[in-house]
């Protein structure tokens, strides 16, 4: 399974925001920290907002923050919200297959996908970007450890 760049950027955005929950994040600073274009980041932030993972505050002193504590945001839920298509093979997505109904590939691939998502479901955003993430804060230039 290959996660899209969009999902990768979404996870990075959430990590950034989790590292400094007391401060509002800005698209420009997150894009700069990860060396990602602001236009890509804008699309990612929009989708994260639609998915209820972040809340955006408009206005002069606006920005964004996590919609819930990092301890309540599951990595599997993030991937499900951001990935446009989780199917690993076309028959999983309902496409015609000449050997559909007699081939076990679909059930095996379903099992593999469930296993991957099951592992991601064991972890929260706080497991990636928790209070002990000093090196990550320094690398990104955020928080008290920067």
Spatial contact of 41 and 9, defined as CB atoms under 8 Å apart: yes
Give percent of the chain with pLDDT exceeding 70. 97
pLDDT at residue 145 is higher than 70:
no
Q: How far apart are CA 64 and CA 61, in angstroms?
A: 10
3-state secondary structure of 104: coil
Question: For residue 124, what are the β-bridge partners?
Answer: 74
Q: How far apart are CA 69 and CA 43, in angstroms?
A: 22
Computed over every residue of the chain, the mean pLDDT equals 89
Closest by CA to 67, choosing from 79, 81, 56, 53, is: 53
- What pLDDT does 146 receive? 57
pLDDT at residue 86 is higher than 90:
no
Give the helix/strand (H/E) hosting 32.
Answer: helix 27-34
Burial 58-93 (b: 16+ CB within 10 A, else e): eeeeebbbbbeebeebbbbbbbeebbeeebbeebbe
pLDDT at residue 37 is higher than 90:
yes
Average pLDDT over residues 94-109: 81
User: What is the per-residue pLDDT across 39-78, written as a single tens digit (0 to 9) for each?
Assistant: 999 999 999 999 999 999 988 888 999 999 999 999 999 9
Length of the chain: 146
């Amino acid at each position: 399974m290959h996660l899209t760049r969009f999902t990768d950027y979404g996870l990075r955005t959430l990590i950034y925001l989790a590292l400094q929950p007391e401060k509002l994040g800005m698209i420009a600073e997150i894009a700069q920290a990860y060396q990602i274009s602001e236009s890509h980041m804008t699309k990612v932030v929009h989708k994260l907002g639609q998915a209820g993972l972040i809340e955006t505050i408009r206005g002069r002193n606006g920005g964004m923050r996590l919609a819930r504590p990092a301890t309540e945001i599951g990595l599997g839920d993030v991937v499900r919200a951001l990935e446009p298509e989780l199917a690993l093979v076309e028959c999983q997505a309902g496409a015609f297959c000449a050997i559909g109904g007699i081939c076990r590939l679909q059930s095996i691939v379903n099992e593999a996908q469930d296993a991957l998502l099951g592992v991601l479901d064991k972890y929260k955003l706080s497991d990636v970007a928790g209070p002990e993430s000093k090196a990550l804060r320094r690398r990104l230039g955020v928080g008290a450890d920067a």
